[in-house]
Amino acid sequence: MADATSKFYITTPIYYVNARPHIGHAYTTIVCDAIARRQRMLGNDTYFLTGTDEHGQKIERSANAAGKSPQQFTDEVAAEFKSLWDRMGISYDKFIRTTSDEHKRGVQAMFKLLQERGYIYKGSYTGQYCVYDELYVDVDTPGAPCPDCGRPTETVREENYFFKLSALQDELLKLYSAQPDFIRPESRRNEVIAFVRGGLKDLSISRTTFKWGIPVPGDEKHVIYVWLDALCNYITAIGFGQPDAGKQFARYWPADVHMIGKEIVRFHCVYWPAFLIAAGLPLPHNIVAHGWLLFEESKMSKSRGNIVRAETILDVLGGDALRYFLMREVVFGQDGSFSFDALVQRFNSDLANGLGNLASRTLSMITRYFQGQVPYPSAAAARTPAEEAIEKLATQTIGDFNQLWDAFQMSRALESAWALVGAVDKYIVETQPWAVADKQDEDSRSRLATILYTAAEALRIVTALAHPVIPESTARIWAQLGLGDISKFKLRDLKWGQLPVSTKLEKVEGVFPRADKSAIERMQTMEQERQATAAPAAVQEPAGTGAQAGQPATQAAAGATAQAAPSAPAPANNYIGIEDFMKVELRVGEVKTAEKVEKADKLLKLTVDIGTEVRTIVAGIAKAYEPEKLIGRKVVIVANLAPRKLRGIESQGMIVAASLGEEGSPALAGFHEDVPVGARLK
Ligand SMILES: [Zn+2]
């Protein structure tokens, strides 16, 4: 993936701030981070960009709903993304925000450039507009459902600026055939070619229906279409359109890799190169689309309540566990499945029992038998075919790993490195160094040195290869091997036999403590508690505002993307019969006692009188309500919800509350009239 030049520029999509960061965003970002780290280890001048996409009507509406200004709203969510990436040690060089001044200047410069080059004209447009997807859709009937998301469209007539996309159809087709790996994988490339062959219409690139965007230069009642705005981040971040940053732009542009989720392929592979061609700018080398991250085989979505946060995994197993799992388990380009069980299983088999065990047994034996100094590998005399085989396999692994990684087959690259781990484990079992150590003669000593050198050298090679994927733990193993700072190591030079003899090992410590069953439970509980907090209620945001979930107006990532095309019917059409509603037993209750739940800052434990009995209910409302102020308050509860355990307390029902804003801050449902305890709502 690196070309002959020594610069390497990689970008994540910029994440839409209408959704909070979750494991889907983390996946995309981790993949880019690992690629960037490897490029740096190879000695390439690497620039890694990520950031947030902050404009558009949906943000404006979500901010209003949360009672915040759009800027305040986007500041908060952008800060959350940034702090999660920082916590995960994501090695980005820049975090771009589309509300920054430099970005605005750059986008306006791009608009002017396209105008000067004759690619923009003013026209008027009447069409059906999907607010959720922020685009005009190809339907005729006013109010007809959006073909993408199924939500009702709005008829919009506006004077717009148009981009002459239709004029670029042939150029784009030429590009796809001249540069076959412009779009990866192949399946996405074929989709794009078919779409462009089907004919391109000019693209409306301004809006007058809302304000939250970048004004069209010289015609400020228009704001620039969010996609033109957002896509430009890849050039504005490195100085395009800035008075003084031309050098950086000249150094890094064009991008080597734009990493994207599969649902935003059209925007990146059709519109973006079209804008660049029209502007006379060079085109990126690779646009690489990954699949979606599913949860236990089904799509993650806010309405299903199965979105997993990265923080939960960081808290329990650490960042490297998450990184390794996602890079190893998800076949890049295809949809992958996440589950806590699979995560823990993979962690134990590959990291705790695999690499971790190899490191600790090898290094401990060197410490014990050779006073912590890498022993001298005897010449031919003490070498057997077993050592030859390990050396050969290690050399082959280095080559295979490089080749697979460069073809974006990162999971197979890791598989090949872990095949070496397995082979060395087997080698140790078969050569039994502990038995050899029992014999004191010269030959046995020499044999023992050879075995332990061979194991340590293989360990060094796997550690170097795996470093971009599991940076924290490999840095520790590297240091324990006595090799110092792994970030100084030049990966290009990696080959068998470089481990210096007599290297003094550092103190040997386990790097991956084995995870037991309770790790799964802990992570599940943390997620359940969060969901009890975030969505306590039957009342959700109004359908059709787009506030529902991770609309990838721009760049939802893996999991969020999953929400882009809900598999369930759209909320607006999703009727249930009265008999279904009547299955839910809603009753008026009165809070008798309320107390905080220990070690859970969002949970309150309540006892609620529902007329016939007093129930214990755990509710995620502690951030919004003081316990003592709730006593005597009438609330609405779902009385026939199956009991579930939260922090060891059985919760016998659920309290109904509105969920406000993106944080889902709760407001309890109640009555203006005096209602008796136990009354049923219907
Ligand atoms: Zn739609």
Q: Out of 106-110, 184-188, 351-355, 661-665, pick the least confident.
A: 661-665
541 Cα to the center of ligand 1, angstroms: 17
Separation between Cα atoms, residue 352 and residue 348, nearest integer Å: 5
Residue 546 has pLDDT above 90, yes or no: no
Q: Is the pLDDT of residue 378 over 80?
A: no
Distance, CA 287 to ligand 1 centroid (Å)?
A: 24
pTM summary value: 0.78
Please state the rounded mean pLDDT for residues 117-140. Answer: 85
Measure 128 CA to ligand 1 centroid, in angstroms: 10
How far does residue 42's CA lie from ligand 1's centre (Å)?
A: 43
| Ligand 1 center–CA 580 separation, angstroms | 28
Please, what sign has the CA dihedral across residues 544, 547, 549, 555? positive
Phi, psi of 564 (to 5 degrees): -65, -35
Say how many Å lie between the CA of residue 153 and the centre of ligand 1.
7
Tell me how far the alpha carbon of residue 65 lies from the centroid of ligand 1, in angstroms: 20
**In which band, very low, low, confident or very high, does the pLDDT at 5 lie, cut at 50, 70 and 90?**
low
Centre of ligand 1 from the C-alpha of residue 217, in Å: 29
**Chain centre distance of CA 475:** 23
- Residue 305 gets which letter from DSSP? T
Q: What is the pLDDT of residue 379?
A: 67
Question: Would you tell me how many other CB atoms lie within 10 Å of the CB of residue 657?
Answer: 25
Residue 550 Cα to ligand 1 middle (Å): 12
Alpha helix segments (H runs only) across 257-355: 265-266, 272-279, 310-316, 319-329, 340-346
Indicate the average pLDDT of the chain: 88
Q: How far is the CA of 596 from the centre of ligand 1 (A)?
A: 42
Q: What distance in angstroms lies between residue 601's CA and the mean position of ligand 1's atoms?
A: 37
Report the pLDDT value the prediction gives residue 81, as an integer from 0 to 100: 97
Task: Give residue 511 CA to ligand 1 midpoint distance, Å.
Answer: 47
CA of 28 to the centre of ligand 1 (A): 24
Using the mean position of ligand 1's atoms as its centre, give its distance from the Cα of residue 56 in Å.
14
Kindly give the distance from the C-alpha atom of residue 263 to the centroid of ligand 1, in angstroms, as a whole number.
Answer: 13
* Ligand 1 centroid distance, CA of 147 (Å): 7
Burial 639-656 (b: 16+ CB within 10 A, else e): beeeeeebeebebbbbbb
Range list of H helices, 149-257: 169-178, 186-197, 226-231, 233-236, 246-252
| Residue 214 CA, ligand 1 centroid: distance in Å | 23
| C-alpha 135 to ligand 1 mean position (Å) | 8
CA–CA distance, 463 with 397 (Å, rounded to integer):
12
Greater pLDDT, 623 or 318: 318
Q: For residues 111 and 526, give the distance between their C-alpha atoms in angstroms, rounded to a whole number.
A: 46
Neighbours of 117 (CB within 10 A): 12
Distance between CA 32 and CA 34 in Å, rounded?
5
Q: Check pLDDT > 70 for residue 389.
A: yes
Per-residue model confidence (pLDDT) at position 380: 65
- What is the dihedral angle through the alpha carbons of 628, 632, 636, 641, rounded to the nearest 10 degrees? 70
Confidence bin at 221 (pLDDT 50/70/90)? very high
- Distance (Å) from CA 131 to ligand 1 centroid: 7
For the chain, percent of residues with pLDDT exceeding 70: 91
pLDDT at residue 265 greater than cutoff 90: yes
Does an H or E element contain 561, and which? helix 558-562
Q: How far apart are CA 290 and CA 546, in angstroms?
A: 24
What spacing in Å lies between the alpha carbon of 14 and ligand 1's midpoint?
A: 20
The whole-number pLDDT of residue 2 equals 45
The H or E element containing residue 423 is: helix 410-431
Q: What is the rounded end-to-end Cα distance, in angstroms, of the chain? A: 61
CA–CA dist 221, 205 (Å, integer): 13
Distance 129 CA to ligand 1 centre (A): 8
Structure confidence at residue 541 (pLDDT): 29
**pLDDT tens across 555-602, in order?**
333 333 333 322 233 333 446 667 777 778 899 999 998 998 887 888
Residue 568 CA, ligand 1 centroid: distance in Å: 14
**Å from CA of 565 to ligand 1 middle:** 9
Helix 442-466 with 410-431: angle, nearest 10 deg: 170
| pLDDT for res 577 | 67
CA distance 207 to 198: 26
| Separation of alpha carbons 258 and 252, rounded Å | 13
CA of residue 149 to ligand 1 center, whole Å: 4
Looking at residue 227, its amino acid is W
For 31-80, write each residue's pLDDT tens digit: 999 999 999 999 999 999 999 999 998 899 889 888 999 999 999 999 99
Ligand 1 midpoint to CA 300 (Å): 18
Instruction: Evaluate whether 667 touches 65 at the Cβ level (below 8 Å).
Output: no
What is the whole-number distance in angstroms between the Cα of residue 571 and the centre of ligand 1? 12
For residue 299 the two structure tokens come to 């799509």
255 Cβ contact list (under 8 Å, min separation 6): 9, 10, 11, 234, 284, 285
DSSP letters, 115-159, are HHTT-EEEEEEEEEEETTTTEEES--STTPBPTTT-PBPEEEEEE
- Contact between 198 and 172 under an 8 Å Cβ cutoff? The reply is no
Kindly give the distance from the C-alpha atom of residue 237 to the centroid of ligand 1, in angstroms, as a whole number: 29
Mind listing the pLDDT tens digit for each residue in 447-463?
999 999 999 999 999 99
Ligand 1 center from residue 132 Cα (angstroms) = 5
Q: Give the CA angle between residues 89, 529, 350 to the nearest 5°.
A: 45
pLDDT at 662: 61
pLDDT at 663 over 80: no
d(CA 486, CA 474): 8
CA of 556 to the centre of ligand 1 (A): 15
Distance of CA 145 from the midpoint of ligand 1 (Å):
8
Neighbours of ion ligand 1 (CB under 5 A): 130, 132-133, 146, 148-149
Backbone phi and psi for residue 10, each to the nearest 5 degrees, phi listed first:
-125, 145
Tokens of 487: 């970030």
Cα separation values, 420 from 44, 100, 329, Å: 27, 47, 18
Cα–ligand 1 centroid distance for 424 (angstroms): 54
